Amino acid sequence: MNAPTSQRALAAVESAGGALAMTEDDLIDVLQSSLYPGAALNSIKLVVSYCRAGGLDPMQKPVHIVPMWDKTAKQMRDVIMPGIGLYRTQAARSSALAGIGDPEFGPMIDLQLGGIQVHVPEWCRVVVKRQMPNGAIADYVAKEYWIENYATAGKDNEAPNTMWKKRPRGQLAKCAEAQALRKAFPEMTGSAPTADEMEGKHLEAGEVDITPKAAPPKAIAALPECTAEKFAENEVAWRQLVVSGKKTASALIAMLSTKTVLTEDQKLQIDAWQHEGE
């Protein structure tokens, strides 16, 4: 009997000397058949790019593909998000993590959501300890409320999804820990929420186009025509510029054309000044 697809995929990774040492096509095949079964190809490619950029091993599943409802586009789309495990890894890599306290839960309360009653902890509190450069240990506390974090069963259903009904404490503890880690290690975690916090939730808005917009062209005012009277009024001075060699006929025409509209006869006359005496 053939080995399961996931076992063959893991064997391929080991024989290649590590996931990031594989070609992208091979790595995508492995991920699609093992850690992200059924995921869209473009979503798998995003995972690979994310991991390569951060020097992460995609086989440890540091990020998750989270289907989310985009309210603006009015459709589901995949979003790549870090997992709580990645936050822990990044904090540990800093060598400043001094401990993560056990979650502390508030009182259990009953809520009516989407036609069902749920019995959940009101809140969860987690403390992350960080050693500061001077050796002192600082506490970073996060307190998250269940009602503000739970994921719904659907975009039009206020009831919690299966995971939040089954593990109300465990899911809330992940959210509180993620928030505490973000507060303690902002340079390592950034501000992006984890997949555990966002799974089943909605995107409040689609992407915003931040491409700089070119300024609208300014309206160009129509230049006045150079009337015969205006030309005669300036003829002596303009002619002297050309005859003296201070300006060529073409240079004078170009300069005047930024201020007025010359007729073809006027341009020919200016050009003739340059040939006087030849």
pLDDT of residue 18: 55
Mean per-residue pLDDT, 131-135: 92
Residue 209 has pLDDT above 60, yes or no: no
Parallel, antiparallel, or unpaired: how do β-strands 63-70 and 202-203 relate? parallel
- State residue 210's pLDDT score: 29
pLDDT exceeds cutoff 90 at 102: yes
Task: Judge whether residue 143 has pLDDT over 80.
Answer: yes
Q: What is the pLDDT of residue 203?
A: 59
Kindly state whether residues 27 and 117 are assigned to the same domain. no
Q: Which of 38-42, 73-77, 151-155, 177-181 has the highest mean pLDDT?
A: 177-181
**Which region among 45-49, 76-80, 182-186 has the lowest average model confidence (pLDDT)?**
76-80
Query: In this structure, are 134 and 238 located in the same domain?
Result: no
Question: Is 131 part of any domain?
Answer: yes
Q: Which of 26, 46, 61 is the last residue of a domain?
A: 61
Q: Are 134 and 263 contained in the same domain? A: no
Residue 76 lies in a domain: yes
Task: Indicate whether 71 and 133 sit together in one domain.
Answer: yes
Q: Domains in the chain: how many in total? A: 3
Indicate if 182 and 69 belong to the same structural domain. yes
Do both 77 and 176 map to the same domain? yes
What's the token pair of residue 45? Answer: 């490619």
* CA atoms in the 13 A half-sphere facing the CB of 128: 25
Dihedral sign (CA 149, 155, 156, 159): negative
pLDDT tens string 218-258:
444 467 889 999 899 999 888 888 888 888 888 788 888 87
Answer yes or no: is 211 within a domain: no
Position 212 scores a pLDDT of 37
d(CA 176, CA 185): 14
Tell me: pLDDT of 57 over 60. Answer: yes
Lowest-confidence region among 125-129, 189-193, 264-268: 189-193
3-state secondary structure 229-258: HHHHHHHHHHHHHHHCCCCCHHHHHHHHCC
Assess contact for 21 and 39: CB atoms under 8 A.
no
* pLDDT confidence band for 89 (50 / 70 / 90): confident
The last residue of a domain, from among 34, 61, 88:
61
Q: Which range of residues forms the domain containing residue 53?
A: 1-61
Residues 116 and 1 in one domain: no
Domain presence at residue 258:
yes
State whether 125 and 95 are in the same domain: yes
pLDDT value at residue 137: 95
181: DSSP letter = H
Which one has a higher pLDDT value, 262 or 201? 262
Residue ranges in 4-101 assigned as alpha helix (H): 5-15, 24-33, 41-54, 84-93
Q: Give the tens place of pLDDT for each residue, 2-36.
A: 445 445 444 444 443 455 566 778 888 888 888 88
Name the phi and psi angles at 92, rounded to 5.
-65, -40
Same domain flag for 124 and 178: yes
Contact by Cβ (8 Å): 160, 153: yes
Q: What does the pLDDT read at residue 202?
A: 61
pTM above 0.85, yes or no: no
**Average pLDDT, rounded, for the chain:** 80
> In this structure, are 57 and 69 located in the same domain?
no
Whether 148 and 234 share a structural domain? no
Could you tell me the pLDDT band of residue 68, with boundaries at 50, 70 and 90? confident
Does 136 share its domain with 80?
yes
Query: Quick one: pLDDT at residue 191?
Result: 67
